[in-house]
């Protein structure tokens, strides 16, 4: 099937899923309507689909954004990401693209795995139970959630088999296809520190590393010259809600605050020590 046909099918599926979700109208620009009403000129035959590796490069090439401020660049990138249908199965199953949220001028950026059902419904990363824990951690660090930037490796919720709830991990091809959006987000923000939340975020950002999150958490790494702290995913901490796990994730955040030269009060220092 041609890339055009695949993109068309994915667009149709996406529109159908919006309809199922109750959306009855979509804004369409006047120029688009005008262009759609024109007869289609006979065109040259479509080029054969490029091999997978080439298609990947072409996709990375296409991520260009405009604007002079970080906010303008992020808005330009977001607009393109919201229309992405590169993974046609995810474009068909998602409610919406979950691009990222927060301050593009932030000194600190958190990277998670992929949207879950709550995020897919709301269009914002980390708004479910794990998100509530992340927000609590951010606030305990002395920030507001809106001060920092939060993104994911995958911008669409990994689809689940018909009738099954819950979440699944992103596959490698899904990650490879989606990662250029995250790389571009980080390029725009240029945070002073990145936090990789869990094994999938760590593998997505530094695929060359061997060793799991249990071994690597708490150790400073570098992503394109940006200091990166890998730590546990909040969902893991919720699943194994032990004093040890809560203390470890908090210790990693204290190291982040120290690196950023942020104030650390004795109370912050002593969390989870006296319980
Ligand atoms: N888990 C993630 O990794 N990301 C989200 O946005 C929500 C839950």
Please report the atom of ligand 1 found closest to the CA of residue 119.
6
* Per-residue pLDDT at 259: 98
CATH number at residue 212: 3.40.470.10
Helices 70-82, 172-189: axis angle to 10 degrees equals 160
Q: Are 66 and 73 in contact (CB under 8 A)?
A: yes
Residue 181 lies inside a defined structural domain of this protein: yes
Q: Report the number of distinct structural domains present in the chain.
A: 1
* Per-residue pLDDT at 52: 41
* Per-residue pLDDT at 166: 87
Residue 28 lies inside a defined structural domain of this protein: no
Q: By residue range, what is the domain housing residue 145?
A: 50-269
Count Cβ atoms below 10 Å from residue 56 Cβ, excluding itself: 17
Residue 27 lies inside a defined structural domain of this protein: no
Mutate to test the pocket of ligand 1, among 101, 109, 112, 151 (most ligand atoms within 8 A of CB): 112
* Per-residue pLDDT at 4: 53
CA of 145 to the centre of ligand 1 (A): 15
- Weakly modelled stretches of the chain, pLDDT under 50: 1, 13-14, 17-18, 20-24, 29, 40-59, 61
Please give the backbone phi and psi of residue 117, each rounded to the nearest 5 degrees, phi first. Answer: -60, -40
Residue 247 lies inside a defined structural domain of this protein: yes
User: Which residues does 200 contact at the CB level (< 8 Å), separation at least 6?
Assistant: 113, 114, 153, 169, 170, 175, 233
* Per-residue pLDDT at 135: 98
pTM over 0.95: no
Token pair, residue 177, equals: 């296809």
181 CB within 6 A, ligand 1 = no
Q: Are 188 and 180 in contact (CB under 8 A)?
A: no
Q: Are 120 and 98 in contact (CB under 8 A)?
A: yes
* Burial grade of 70 (CB within 10 A; 0-12, 13-18, 19 or more): middle
Residue 18 lies inside a defined structural domain of this protein: no
Beta strands in 121-271 (DSSP E): 149-152, 193-197, 221-223, 226-231
Instruction: Please list, residue by residue across 120-139, b when 16 or more beta carbons sit within 10 angstroms of its beta carbon and e when fewer do.
Output: bbbbbbbbbebbebbbebbe
204 CB within 6 A, ligand 1 = no
100 CB within 6 A, ligand 1 = no
Q: Are 221 and 258 in contact (CB under 8 A)?
A: no
Residue 128 lies inside a defined structural domain of this protein: yes
CA of 94 to the centre of ligand 1 (A): 15
* Per-residue pLDDT at 1: 47
Q: What is the CA radius of gyration of the chain?
A: 20
* Per-residue pLDDT at 85: 98
Count Cβ atoms below 10 Å from residue 84 Cβ, excluding itself: 23
Residue 203 lies inside a defined structural domain of this protein: yes
């Amino acid at each position: 099937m041609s890339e055009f046909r695949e993109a068309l099918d994915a667009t149709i599926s996406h529109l159908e899923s919006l309809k199922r979700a109750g959306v009855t109208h979509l804004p369409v620009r006047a120029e688009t309507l005008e262009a759609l009403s024109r007869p289609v000129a006979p065109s040259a035959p479509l080029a054969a689909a490029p091999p997978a590796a080439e298609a990947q490069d072409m996709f990375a090439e296409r991520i260009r954004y405009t604007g002079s401020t970080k906010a303008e660049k992020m808005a330009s990138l977001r607009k393109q990401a919201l229309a992405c249908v590169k993974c046609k199965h995810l474009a068909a199953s998602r409610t919406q693209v979950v691009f990222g949220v927060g301050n593009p001028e932030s000194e600190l950026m958190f990277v998670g795995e992929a949207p879950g059902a709550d995020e897919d419904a709301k269009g914002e990363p980390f708004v479910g139970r794990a998100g509530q824990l992340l927000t609590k951690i951010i606030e305990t660090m002395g920030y507001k959630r809106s001060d920092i930037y939060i993104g994911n490796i995958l911008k669409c919720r990994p689809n689940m088999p018909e009738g099954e709830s819950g979440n699944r991990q992103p596959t490698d091809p899904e990650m490879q296809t989606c990662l250029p959006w995250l790389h571009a987000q980080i390029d725009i923000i240029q945070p002073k520190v990145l936090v990789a939340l869990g094994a999938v975020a760590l593998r997505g950002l530094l695929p060359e590393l061997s060793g799991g999150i249990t071994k690597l958490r708490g150790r400073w790494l570098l992503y394109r010259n940006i200091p990166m702290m890998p730590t546990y995913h909040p969902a893991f901490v919720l699943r194994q809600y032990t004093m040890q796990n809560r203390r470890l994730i908090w210790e990693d955040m204290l190291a982040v605050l120290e690196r950023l030269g942020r104030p650390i009060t004795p109370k912050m220092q002593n969390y989870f020590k006296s319980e």
